[in-house]
Amino acid sequence: MNLGTNPIKVMLNDSHSVAGGGLVYLGSIVSELARAEGIQWILVAPAETLARLNIPDAWVRRATPRLGFFGVHLWEQSVLPLWARRQGVAVTLCNSNYVALLAPRPIPILHSPVIDGLAQAATRKDRLYWTALKRMTSLSLRCRCAVSPTA
């Protein structure tokens, strides 16, 4: 493939990482991803995450809106895919077990063992969260490829 002067636009959707494993993983891969040639990276993350990371100057940054837990998930499934298509994004890497289903060629990066999380869930809120994550992961995997950070 001849990339010429038009690099492939790849969006890294990290809409949910403010702390924890997702943030640590993101911080560890940014410099590795930046080495790839012929790619224009677009990082979507909370403003506080964007401020904490050493993001290369060439990367496009988009802060997720502050809409709360459910609001950000709805935004990610509805507004983000439309915005990505308008930007000419070719592939969407999602730094969570599930994807923005309507985003261009979404690929989940699998982190959480959902079966273990569900088995260890002690409260109703935890069971609801892990059940939703299990279903979204399953739906994402049926339609798409997946990348494991440990592979």
User: Domains in the chain, start-ordered, CATH in brackets?
Assistant: 8-112 (3.40.50.2000)
Environment class of 140 (CB within 10 Å of its CB; exposed 0-12, middle 13-18, buried 19+): buried
CB 51 within 8 A of CB 18: no
Q: Walk along the chain (151 residues) and give the pLDDT tens digit of each residue.
A: 444 578 999 999 998 777 677 778 888 889 899 999 999 999 999 999 999 889 999 999 999 999 888 898 899 999 999 999 999 999 999 887 778 888 999 988 877 677 777 778 889 988 887 777 777 777 777 765 545 555 4
Supply the pLDDT for residue 141.
Answer: 74
Enter the pTM of the model.
0.80
The two tokens of residue 26 are 């993101």
3-state secondary structure of 62: strand
Q: In whole angstroms, give the CA distance from residue 97 to residue 30.
A: 19
State pLDDT tens for residues 112-146: 677 777 778 889 988 887 777 777 777 777 765 54
Q: In whole angstroms, give the CA distance from residue 64 to residue 13.
A: 10
